[in-house]
Structures are given as C-alpha cells and as structure tokens.
Amino acid sequence: MEMLGKFISSVREKTPLVHHITNYVTVNDCANITLCIGASPVMAHAEEEVEEMVSMAGALVLNIGTLDSQQITRMFLAGKAAGKLGLPIILDPVGAGATSFRTKTAQRMIQELPISVLKGNAGEIGTLAGIQAEVRGVDSGGMSGDPVEITRILAERLGSTVVMSGVIDVVSDGNCIMQCENGHPFMGRLSGTGCMAASIIGACAAVFSDYLRSSAAGITAFGIAGERAAADAAGPGSFKYRLFDHMATVTGDDVNQYGRVRVL
C-alpha cells in the first residue's frame, strides 16, 4: 500500500478552510467531521458572499442533496470563482439519476466547472457515466457493469478524480486505480456519511493537489474511524457519535498501518 498518512498529517498541521455549499439535512455533520479531521469548515451559501468566501478557502465542496434553483446559482458563482483561483472543487452529485432536475444539474456542473473530485455512490456515478443505474431517492440502487472500469473511464473522460463509494471504495484519475477497503456496514445505515466523506476529501485536497491520493487517504482515514466506532457501538445512533470521536484521533501513522488500499 502507498504511504498515504502524510495527507492526514498535513491536514492536521495546516488546518485548511473548506467552504461548503451543501444540503440542509447533513450540514452540521459535515461541519463537525471537517473539524474532526483537523480542517476548518465554513457553510456559506448567500449569493452575496460565496465568491468572497471562496477566495479565503483551500477547497470548495458542492453537494446537491437538497437542490433548488437559487442554490444552483450560488454553486456556479462559487465554482467559477474557485476555478479562477485554481482551488479544488469536490462535487457530491447526491441523487443524480433520481430526477431529471438533479441529473441535468450534475451534468451541467461537470461540463461547466473544473471539478477536481467527483464523489458519488454507484447509482450516481453510473448515471453520470451513462451506464444503466438505479437511484432510490438519494440512495444507490445499484449499477450494471464493472465499478472499477466505470470509475476509471469516467475519470479519464472528465480529466478529474472520481470516487465511487461502496463496500469497497474505488478511486481513479483515469490512469491509476485504487481500491480502499476500510469501513463498516453501520456507515451505510446513517444519512450523511457520504456527505461527510466529501468533506474529508475536500480537507485533504486543500493541502495536496494530488487528488487521487488525497481522496484515497481521506476515504481510508474515514473508514478506519468507522471500524473503530463500530467496535463498541450498540447501533447506528451510538455509532454516529463514536464516528466523530474516532475521526478526531485517526493519525497519519494509523492510515499507513491500518489502511487497506490496493493499487490496481
């Protein structure tokens, strides 16, 4: 396994500001998990300030989970400002494939904004790759085809890093493919863990422009925290609070020692 711990250590040392325009269901969870990995979150969405806030940040996270037309306008303002500054943009296309509104918005974003990392579940990534996929509300219902190859092909097409979350997370920049195997089933029984993963990736991308490995490092650290949280959790509720506790204590050395990452 590649030594990915340096990405986590650097986040804790540099405390980058991560600007989110995200959904109102999980906004607090995203802010807290960003703090737990050692970064600083800001959840600014007003049209009057998003461009100014981006200029202070190290990364921009866009999440379309509770999408509306005003939010789309704000996301494009922030995204274009981030592009001009060369800041990484992480897009979480929540629910792409569920409705034409979400799908077309996500497609427009990857066409018009310089997305650095596209992170979604199998249904969302499959939809954006043009593969038959099923999305139930904002949950993945599966996808036809090989997840590894679909992730690689979409990353190559977009010229971005693509992360397909699942039991095994697949990360590719179109050339290299990494499989991240840490995690626990409890992570799939809570709303917001996918959104939190995007925040963690944003924190790592803010300090390293190697978006393939910074994404893999963030996903791996989050998976290790999930495994540790599940070890003494009675169920999803207690797991959630322990997830924050353990995310706050995962170190770069932990990622190097306990991370299960395969380079294909």
Which CATH number fits the domain that encloses residue 239? Answer: 3.40.1190.20
Sign of CA dihedral 74, 75, 76, 82: positive
pLDDT score, position 130: 87
pLDDT score, position 59: 98
Q: Which amino acids are annotated as binding site, given as ranges?
A: 43, 119, 165, 192
116 Cβ contact list (under 8 Å, min separation 6): 88, 89, 90, 160, 161, 205, 211
Structure tokens at 194: 């996918």
Q: Which amino acids are annotated as binding site for substrate, given as ranges?
A: 43, 192
pLDDT score, position 190: 86
39 Cβ contact list (under 8 Å, min separation 6): 11, 15, 16, 17, 18, 58, 202, 203, 206
The pTM of the whole model exceeds 0.75: yes
Domain enclosing residue 236, as ranges: 5-263
Reference 85, options 118, 52, 112, 108; nearest CA is 52
Number of domains in the chain: 1
pLDDT score, position 188: 87
Q: How far apart are the first and last CA of the chain?
A: 11
pLDDT score, position 181: 96
Phi-psi region of 15 (alpha: psi -120 to 50; beta: other; left: phi over 0): left
H or E segment to which residue 85 belongs: helix 69-85
CB atoms under 10 Å from CB of 142, counted, come to 14
pLDDT score, position 251: 96
Classified as helix, coil or strand, 54 is helix
Q: What is the pLDDT along the chain (264 residues), one digit of tens a residue?
A: 568 999 999 999 999 999 999 999 999 999 999 999 999 999 999 999 999 999 999 999 999 999 999 999 999 999 999 999 999 999 999 999 889 999 999 999 999 999 999 999 999 999 999 886 555 554 445 556 788 999 999 999 999 999 999 999 999 999 999 999 999 998 988 889 999 999 999 999 999 999 999 999 999 999 999 999 999 898 888 999 999 999 999 999 999 999 999 998
Judge contact between 43 and 59, C-beta under 8 A.
Answer: no
DSSP 250: -
Cα separation of 56 and 102, whole Å? 29
Classified as helix, coil or strand, 158 is helix
H or E segment to which residue 202 belongs: helix 193-207
Classified as helix, coil or strand, 21 is strand
pLDDT score, position 232: 87
pLDDT score, position 2: 61
pLDDT score, position 142: 57
| Strand partners of residue 103 | none
Sign of CA dihedral 48, 211, 198, 196: negative
Q: Which amino acids are annotated as binding site for ATP, given as ranges?
A: 119, 165
Judge contact between 224 and 254, C-beta under 8 A.
Answer: yes
